[in-house]
């Protein structure tokens, strides 16, 4: 199947997660991605990212983020390597970097430099905090972005203090926004600079609570128990049962009281109290729901169209038909040091024309495609 971005060439100077997650998406949508890696260190996330299972001595995280790309080992301070990079830029549609502000300019690869070589290039950049202002040179690291953006006041309970979201959300969202900007710019035939900062991305992510804050200037209140969203009333939250947890999203409290045979809930006839008294209501629910199993409660609530779900971990999910039917898992492979390497990962979440966008290529070994790429582009004029 021809993918929507087939024929698009992306030259990718990024490392870690934000930029590489963007180019992974472009790859899955059909683009060819050449990953330029520092001649000595390579992408630092090959080794020092997370405590994750190693695949051929490289982090499973690196493998997940960089599958399907080609690796070009290059010294950007070396004239010969820069000449090759310039050759590739002439044929590229998109150039992406997530260096700190100023680095690409010093390398002679600023937007103006690149546009002079290729007048229709899309030049995309991710920074931590934008290129100006007091934070411009602070490290664009996910936890720091969560900390300064107010995000750590949204999850958990008020008495928990700051609760970070336990994944690299600012990296991921900055990459996702960048993809949107790049694709929009590709609709025009002119050199375009697209910039996203992790800070602007993580603020956009909070556009609902921020907009409310702009109007009323009231600090976020999460509540004290079974919290799931600072702006939503009871029953919204997760509840412990005799054998696990269930999620309750929406439902009239009185109706819940009747269905669950929980008499104290019947007193909450005024819907405005479902927000103002959410901690009390949730406490009553929590004490009631812990007495029976998750299946017991779901068997009552689901047929009554109450919005609820079992709370699963990945193991439970993997075994569930609701997951299997998505066909989300794919096996990718590559030859590393003469040895075939296979591993499982997730596919692209977007479907085109009812088809799954699957891929069979694993992440490249460091510099794996350097020779071929040099041969291919030095023969181009």
12 touches 36 (CB < 8 A): yes
Structure tokens at 343: 């591993």
Only segment of 72-80, 81-89, 193-201, 259-267 that touches other proteins (CB under 8 A): 193-201
Report the b/e string of 5-24 with b at 16+ CB within 10 A. Answer: beebbbbbbbbbbbbbbbbb
Among 273, 311, 358, 367, binds other proteins (CB under 8 A): 311
Least Å from the CB of residue 180 to other proteins: 5
Q: Which stretch binds other proteins (CB under 8 A): 70-78, 218-226, 253-261, 373-381?
A: 218-226
* 118 interacts with other proteins by CB under 8 A: no
Bridge pairing between strands 32-38 and 9-12: parallel
> Least distance from C-beta 370 to other proteins, angstroms?
25
- 136-143 contacts at long range (C-beta below 8 A, 24 or more positions apart): 136/101, 137/100, 137/101, 140/18, 140/98, 140/100, 140/197, 140/198, 142/17, 142/168, 142/169, 142/170, 142/171, 142/198
- Asked if 149 interacts with other proteins (CB under 8 A), we say yes
215 binds other proteins (CB under 8 A): yes
- Based on CB atoms, which residue is closest to other proteins, 247 or 373? 247
Catalytic residue among 171, 261, 270, 353: 171
Q: Is position 171 annotated as part of the catalytic site?
A: yes
Q: Cis bond leading into 235, ω under 30°?
A: yes
Angstrom CA distances, 330 to 184, 231, 314, 349, stand at 29, 38, 16, 12
Of the candidate residues 148, 262, 300, 374, the single one contacting other proteins (CB under 8 A) = 148
Q: Which residues pair with 38 in a beta bridge?
A: 74
Provide the minimum distance between the beta carbon of 359 and other proteins in the complex, in angstroms, as a whole number: 13
Binding mask 313-352 for other proteins (x = CB under 8 A): xxxxx--xxxxxxx-xx-------------xxxx-xxxxx
From 159, 216, 303, 381, residue interacting with other proteins (rule: CB under 8 A): 216
Instruction: Point out which span in 76-84, 96-104, 183-191, 371-379 binds other proteins (CB under 8 A).
Output: 183-191
What is the helix (H) or strand (E) element at residue 12, kind and residue range? Answer: strand 9-12
d(CA 339, CA 333): 10
Residue 274's nearest CA partner among 239, 226, 232, 237 is 232
Q: Does the footprint of other proteins cover residue 277 (CB under 8 A)?
A: no
Touching other proteins, residues 53-92 (CB under 8 A): 53, 55, 60-61, 63-65
Q: Does 307 bind other proteins (CB under 8 A)?
A: yes
Is residue 227 involved in binding other proteins (CB under 8 A)? yes
Binding segment for other proteins among 34-42, 69-77, 81-89, 230-238 (CB under 8 A)?
230-238
Distance CA 296, CA 208 (A): 35
Least distance to other proteins, CB of residue 8, Å: 7
The 163-182 site mask, x for binding other proteins (CB under 8 A), equals xxxxxxx--xx--xxxxxx-
Provide the b/e sequence for 164-191 (b: ≥16 CB within 10 Å): ebeebbbbbbbbbbbbebbbebbeeeeb
CB of 230 to other proteins, least distance (A): 6
Q: Using the rule CB under 8 A, is 206 a contact of other proteins? A: yes
The catalytic residue positions are 171
């Amino acid at each position: 199947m021809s993918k929507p971005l087939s024929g698009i060439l992306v030259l990718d100077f990024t490392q870690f997660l934000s930029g590489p997650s963007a180019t992974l998406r472009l790859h899955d949508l059909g683009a060819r991605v050449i990953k330029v890696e520092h001649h000595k260190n390579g992408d630092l996330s090959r080794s020092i990212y997370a405590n994750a299972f190693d695949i051929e001595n490289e982090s499973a995280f690196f493998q997940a983020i960089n599958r399907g790309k080609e690796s070009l080992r290059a010294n950007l301070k070396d004239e010969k390597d820069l000449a090759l990079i310039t050759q590739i830029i002439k044929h590229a549609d998109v150039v992406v970097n997530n260096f700190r502000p100023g680095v690409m300019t010093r390398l002679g690869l600023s937007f103006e430099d690149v546009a002079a070589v290729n007048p229709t290039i899309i030049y995309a950049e991710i920074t931590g905090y934008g290129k100006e202002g007091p934070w411009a040179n602070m490290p664009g690291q996910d936890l720091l972005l969560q900390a300064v953006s107010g995000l750590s006041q949204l999850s958990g309970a008020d008495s928990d203090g700051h609760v970070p979201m336990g994944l690299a959300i600012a990296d991921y969202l900055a990459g996702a926004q960048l993809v949107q900007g790049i694709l929009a710019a590709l609709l025009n035939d002119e050199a375009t600079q697209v910039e996203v900062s992790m800070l602007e991305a993580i603020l956009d992510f909070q556009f609902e609570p921020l907009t409310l804050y702009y109007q009323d200037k009231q600090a976020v209140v999460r509540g004290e128990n079974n919290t799931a969203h600072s702006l939503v009333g009871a029953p919204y939250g997760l509840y412990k049962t005799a054998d696990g947890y269930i999620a309750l999203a929406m439902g009239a409290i009185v109706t819940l009281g009747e269905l669950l045979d929980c008499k104290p809930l019947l007193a909450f006839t005024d819907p405005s109290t479902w927000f103002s008294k959410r901690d009390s209501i949730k406490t009553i629910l929590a004490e009631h729901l812990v007495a029976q199993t998750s299946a017991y409660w779901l068997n009552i609530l689901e047929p009554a169209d109450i919005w609820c779900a079992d709370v699963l971990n990945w193991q439970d999910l993997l075994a569930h038909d609701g997951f299997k039917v998505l066909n989300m898992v794919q096996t990718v492979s590559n030859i590393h040091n003469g040895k075939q390497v296979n591993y499982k990962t997730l596919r692209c979440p977007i479907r085109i024309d009812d088809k799954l966008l699957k891929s069979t290529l694993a992440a490249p070994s460091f510099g794996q495609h350097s020779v071929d790429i040099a041969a291919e582009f030095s023969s181009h004029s």
